[in-house]
Structure 1
């Protein structure tokens, strides 16, 4: 049941942000202590020897490891508190503003969100308006309820609550799988310390936690996750076969067949994920040939893949019930542990497993993989489609105007990306690029600037702003390695703050109509940001067009060609290939310094320079190549 208007009015989400600030202080203090302890242990290791020294140092290292895990939990807890507080505060303000506006225009608003015209307002048209307002207000109340529950779940997860981790019996030995927040290097040591029989036994039993554990090799994660996906499909399809009913019958009333709503969620997201795997492998949404619709992804053997020259896909992560049923997954074309080049692509608003980002024909990963293969055919690039965070639901979702989901997603992205170096084959070069589109670009920027993500290149596409990062220097990589693709006709790319001009200045003048700040931070395509902008124009475009926001991965485009050069380690060639674009600049006007009068000649004038909120994009109306 949704919360009431009075409950929203009495809520104090700003206190969650205050708690996040306090948590940041505790995290910083603990990190300082851990750093001091590690320095002391290092000193003792060089000046103390013997059995007692070895035992003492081992104890000290175990203690500092536990403290670092606690510090990591504090950091995740801070993100959960801040994200929930910012999102709920923005939604609370929007909802209460709508209630106040509705009442000013002569409508009454009940506590459950029902809107009715006052007695002096008469007419069917007004009744229709009231019905529409009721539907919208009640949707906002439900959204606030969902957000409150999601925030509570995120806080529980960050605090280590509800993370089941029972031991697994392998050949009579109870094996304890490391918890999800264990340092990936320690997870790798644990895995390497198992016998081959124990590793095979774990893969055969495929506990779901194992397939999502950073530090486990990618090929093992793939085997485990695909087996878990099959279990999710079997749970429903076995009931369908046993009862002779349709899948829709079972999913519509799972309790009638001994299943739960969670089983249905897992089944539906398993189907979406399987379709995504098949699509990225074959380019089709089902397996070509006889029986394609009935065959599973797991039915495809290595020989068939090789015979048909299908792309090498892997299921790197899979959690169908994450984010309140929206699901979490990452599909990789190529093995990131053995590829010389790896690209991680991060989507934006409205993307989720549930809503089909992996399975509805998106070819972003396929196109980048194919284009990169043309640039460097000897070193195929592994491309990971990372659907690993909770995105805003749509362009009308209040979350789209805040950075809370981006910061929380940035934490998760950094945790996953940084683990790739741990499992990567030491004998193979490791060149890593992380690319984010739209709201995903803000998430990528936060992963670098706020969460310490380590990669060789950052690529931001159609960015509404970079939140924490005020310049390319904040990414922690060489500033030239922060790349921007932003079509001049893409409206989302104009939302970020550029210098002292649009859109922040106008937003302030209009009473912050676009929220506390226009966009989500600085515009990375602006000259002061200091990033490298590559060409990304849409052929034939001569005006702002929302459709141009989705053009960046299109085959034959300037942007896709530029990205392929970047992810294969050839970003330095963009200039010689004619793929560099000048940044946006802020224009100013000035009065003339002199005037030429008849019979008088040149007369000097006092020059006045006028700053104007006008941005010049040199790419505007440039013919695309």
Structure 2
């Protein structure tokens, strides 16, 4: 390359060569290594607690008191270290994610330059290729490429500065004291997420860290607390939750004789344990995007709320509500569906930062007779409303585009929540729906054109009819004439819970699905997957 000697990249800026050779995976792996220290710190803290108990039983006096105080102090430091180690992982993972987005923008700039006949040298300088672009036509093209290149470098530089600041604050915390006990006031579990967020941001970093370390049961499920802090708290509870499942399993195993109910209970607990272990593997994986554990309950069939990517930092956020049969035993399978939408978003808009949340925080029906009623959907409505309000309250910077997607019975949960409580959402999506609890999209409280639906041609949900219709068809079907009358009755857009949202009378916008049955909307070859991703991105 010819031209003047390049100037040094300004302090705090990222150069073209730096970004082109950056390795996001290495930063993500470094974060995972830091996260592993959290478990080690908790185990050592437990060992110190056991040691202090043994010490008190066999040693007394002033020396014993001094030794016990020293052990307590060391234990407190280890307890405080655990959330800080998880936070370091979050910082590095989010930095890696933003590097991925910046590199995607850089690749777009390079592709534009190649198409337009523009050269980019190793220092990021842009000039027309005289062999391809006449000098009198080069100006606008060079400006376009330069702008795209600068956009990528600015994103990388902003990510670099932010990560450095956040890590510096953590380092300062180590010097000045990781934790500090906060004032005694605490919000109720069902408090307004906006008020919760105001309370949380009013605390110092040391006070917030104290709450994560000492009251994770409060912080973990509390809507309005930022996802990063909820993730730290819930990860600290993973061991306790597994111990609770094991205790229940041992209790059931000890019952003699064991009847059908006990055997069913054993199988359920074993399935939940397997599901929790699989979820733990995903949480500890360096695989991008990083998973954030926003809620976990091992009671009953288990519940989980997991985000892929930090919703607070994304420009587009999907909340996915699964349907009948969902539980902790298959949380990673349901999370995989959300991941496929996210991956398709990355293909369509590689420079955007997106996040997808699996919201399985309700008692999903297990059997068809349960799914024929709307009681479990109505019971879930307020919790889904609060969760969405919490995402809106804690989001960094400009509000994200929020999309809520319900599949099967989950679509009724979404529709009922929107109808009865309102949802902080910019778009609603229903796939494989048995009805959403309203007769028209206008009753869901969203602007026209932001309610979407799709039903596969071979989805069995198309066979559902209102209970009254089923009873009438049963009576008619008792005679040959009645059977013929039932056939002549023709197709209906009425489902169990109102009109079919893909029908023209409902007023939603539909998008196509191939013949992939009731659970195939996330198949990579199904156009429905592309449709869901485009709605999330606002395309």
Structure 1 pair 192/453, CA: closer, same or farther in 2 (3 Å)?
same
DSSP-derived class of the 1:561 partner: helix
Q: Are 1:460 and 2:430 counterparts?
A: yes
Q: Are 1:224 and 2:233 counterparts?
A: yes
Q: How far does the alpha carbon of each residue in 1:557-600 deviate from its partner, in whole angstroms, 9 at most, with x for none?
A: 11001111000111xxxxxxxxxxxxxxxxxxxxxxxxxxxxxx
DSSP-derived class of the 1:528 partner: coil
How much does 1:439 deviate? 0.7
| Contact kept? 2:306, 2:335, Cα under 8 Å | no
Q: Indicate the residue corresponding to 1:349 in structure 2.
A: 324
Structure 1 pair 531/235, CA: closer, same or farther in 2 (3 Å)?
closer
| Contact kept? 1:339, 1:428, Cα under 8 Å | no
How much does 1:202 deviate? 1.2
558-567 vs 409-418, which moves further = 409-418
Q: Are 1:320 and 2:298 counterparts?
A: yes
Q: Indicate the residue corresponding to 1:278 in structure 2.
A: 281
Q: Indicate the residue corresponding to 2:163 in structure 1.
A: none
How much does 1:458 deviate? 0.6
Structure 1 pair 270/184, CA: closer, same or farther in 2 (3 Å)?
farther
DSSP-derived class of the 2:522 partner: coil
Looking at both structures, which has the greater relative contact order when contacts are Cα pairs under 8 Å and sequence separation is at least 6? 2
Q: Indicate the residue corresponding to 1:536 in structure 2.
A: 513
| Contact kept? 1:485, 1:559, Cα under 8 Å | yes
Q: Indicate the residue corresponding to 1:545 in structure 2.
A: none
Structure 1 pair 512/236, CA: closer, same or farther in 2 (3 Å)?
same
Which of 368, 392, 415 is residue 421 of structure 1 equivalent to? 392
Partner Cα distance (1:319, 1:375) in 2: 35
Partner Cα distance (1:412, 1:172) in 2: 29
Which of 205, 212, 228 is residue 214 of structure 2 equivalent to? 205
Partner Cα distance (1:455, 1:478) in 2: 10
Partner Cα distance (2:235, 2:255) in 1: 23
TM-score under structure 2 normalisation? 0.57
Q: Indicate the residue corresponding to 1:294 in structure 2.
A: none
| Contact kept? 1:185, 1:215, Cα under 8 Å | yes
Partner Cα distance (1:391, 1:536) in 2: 25
Which of 431, 448, 452 is residue 401 of structure 2 equivalent to? 431
Partner Cα distance (2:472, 2:393) in 1: 46
Q: Indicate the residue corresponding to 1:252 in structure 2.
A: 253
Q: Indicate the residue corresponding to 1:382 in structure 2.
A: 355
How much does 1:344 deviate? 0.6
1:127-526 alignment, distance < 5 Å: 175-233=184-242, 252-253=253-254, 269=272, 272-276=275-279, 278-279=281-282, 297=284, 305=286, 310-321=288-299, 325-353=300-328, 356-360=329-333, 363-395=336-368, 398-425=369-396, 427-467=397-437, 469-495=438-464, 505=469, 507-508=471-472, 510=474, 519-526=496-503
Structure 1 pair 530/274, CA: closer, same or farther in 2 (3 Å)?
same
How much does 1:252 deviate? 2.8
DSSP-derived class of the 1:230 partner: helix
| Contact kept? 2:249, 2:270, Cα under 8 Å | no
How much does 1:479 deviate? 2.8
TM-score under structure 1 normalisation? 0.50
Q: Are 1:565 and 2:505 counterparts?
A: no
| Contact kept? 1:320, 1:328, Cα under 8 Å | yes
Structure 1 pair 558/265, CA: closer, same or farther in 2 (3 Å)?
closer
How many correspondences in the alignment? Answer: 338
How much does 1:362 deviate? 6.1
How much does 1:551 deviate? 0.6
DSSP-derived class of the 2:414 partner: helix
Which structure has the highest helix share of the two? 2
How much does 1:186 deviate? 1.1
| Contact kept? 1:233, 1:271, Cα under 8 Å | no
Q: How far does the alpha carbon of each residue in 1:150-206 deviate from its partner, in whole angstroms, 9 at most, with x for none?
A: xxxxxxxxxxxxxxxxxxxx8566633211111111111211222222111112224
Q: How far does the alpha carbon of each residue in 1:186-232 deviate from its partner, in whole angstroms, 9 at most, with x for none?
A: 11121122222211111222431211001111000000001011233
How much does 1:236 deviate? 7.9
Q: Indicate the residue corresponding to 1:59 in structure 2.
A: none
Partner Cα distance (1:361, 1:561) in 2: 18
DSSP-derived class of the 1:441 partner: helix
Partner Cα distance (2:253, 2:471) in 1: 47
Partner Cα distance (2:236, 2:210) in 1: 13
DSSP-derived class of the 2:518 partner: helix
- Spell out structure 1 runs of 4+ moving beyond 4 A: 170-174, 234-237, 247-251, 264-271, 503-507
Q: How far does the alpha carbon of each residue in 1:341-376 deviate from its partner, in whole angstroms, 9 at most, with x for none?
A: 0001111111111xx221357620121111111111
Partner Cα distance (1:441, 1:230) in 2: 33
DSSP-derived class of the 2:498 partner: coil
How much does 1:478 deviate? 1.9
